[in-house]
Amino acid sequence: MSKPTGYSRRDFIKTGSAAAGLGLAAPAALAGALPEAPGVIPRRSRPAVVSSGNGHQYRHDGDLTCVETVFQRMTQGDDILDSVIAGVRINELDPGDTSVGYGGLPNGDGVVQLDASVMHGPMKRAGSVACLEGVRTPAAVARAVMHETDHHLLVGPDAQRFARNMGFTIEDDLNSDVSRARWLDWRRRTDPSRWPGEDDPQRIGFLSGMEMVEEGLIDAEHYWGTINCNAVNAAGEIAGCTTTSGLAWKIPGRVGDSPILGAGLYVDGEVGAAGSTGRGEANLYNLTSFLIVENLRRGMTPLDAGMDAIRRIQQNTIEPRLLNEQGEPNFGIRFYILNAAGEHAGVTLRGGGNYAICTENGPEMVPFESLL
């Protein structure tokens, strides 16, 4: 697993030609950029990419992280969504990132089930997959759903069958040695076959997972999984993608917010984009990414739009099991926001941490704004 080291702006600019060679492992029929959307009014924006922190942490076998790849490709003229998918693909393929793709932490039965959504602002089109098994790059499959069908969401075995028909490689097991070892460790600590009841065994499973986080066996950010990445180019074209292996040790078949439009991701090509990581159920209930983009439409800044939505989650969290001793939500959730002008923000319910951005000044990590 490689992480960013000293990387100057000069080095970043030099890698432009290398980024152009980072292709997508998708069928030849899908390799071309989408046709230009009709009727889009040209405008100038500050090119920018915003992502969860893991978007500037992993490089897989290349020289660039996700946000660097997206920025290089889109500023060289590649389709805005193709650029985003090329970026998140780095995380999907890197087994060091146990929150997405190959080597993502599996469900309670030890099976890696992946979710992803994509939205193309200029085309006003979207695609998603959920509970997809056997394909390392679910974001590319979501793009195929958008590009090749009249639908927005395919799930389970039928999503895998669609991927096979589109030419994607299907594997029997997407566990890496690390993800399998972590699941076996968790299984020894709890019984994954038990279901919530009077003794709340699901809570026991959660606490066992948190013990593994405290022991350093699992990155705290990877327990809930996910990478979200949104981008706007100089022409003001916007696209976004959220891809994830979901909640670690989840009930098989559980689908969180990531593949659901308006929750894990929402893009309006005239306004902006928002996506999330963290507790998917809280985001699903509030459709928070949609709310954020609507706030942008009403003229709010990315920061104000995000904080307003975080407050909505706080107000709607009333179940005692989801509250701490202070009566506040006891979980984490974060949003990554970009408007059509290239302005950005990262907001979180609680705690610190950083999110990733990339502009003409190069990549950097920026602190979140926290509500609590």
Q: List, for residues 82-129, the tens digit of each pLDDT value.
A: 999 999 999 999 999 999 999 999 999 999 999 999 999 999 999 999
- Write phi, then psi, for 261 (nearest 5 degrees): -65, 130
Asked if residues 365 and 356 have their Cβ atoms less than 8 Å apart, the reply is yes
pLDDT confidence of residue 352: 85
* Domain boundaries, given as residue ranges, for the chain: 14-31+54-174+221-283
- Tokens encoding 252: 């098989």
Q: Is the pLDDT of residue 207 over 90?
A: no
293-311 average pLDDT score: 98
Residues 33 and 123: their CA atoms lie apart, in Å, by 12
98 near 244, Cβ under 8 Å?
no
Positions marked catalytic: 226
**What's the pTM?**
0.83
Q: How buried is 20 (Cβ within 10 angstroms: 0-12 exposed, 13-18 middle, 19+ buried)?
A: middle
Are 279 and 224 a contacting pair, CB within 8 Å? yes
Q: What token pair was written down for 181?
A: 């070892």
Beta bridge partners of 267: 273
Reported confidence tier of residue 186, pLDDT bands at 50, 70, 90: confident
- More confident position, 218 or 361: 361
| Residue 201 or 346, more confident | 346
Which tokens is 123 given?
């085309």
Strands (E), 222-270: 227-232, 238-244, 265-268
Please say if the pLDDT value at position 19 is more than 80: no
pLDDT in tens, 28-86: 334 344 444 444 445 678 999 999 999 999 999 999 999 999 999 999 999 999 999 99
CB 242 within 8 A of CB 226: yes
Q: CA-to-CA distance for 283 and 294, rounded, in angstroms?
A: 15
Q: Sheet of 238-244: strands edge to edge?
A: 153-155, 125-132, 114-120, 238-244, 227-232, 48-51, 354-359, 362-367
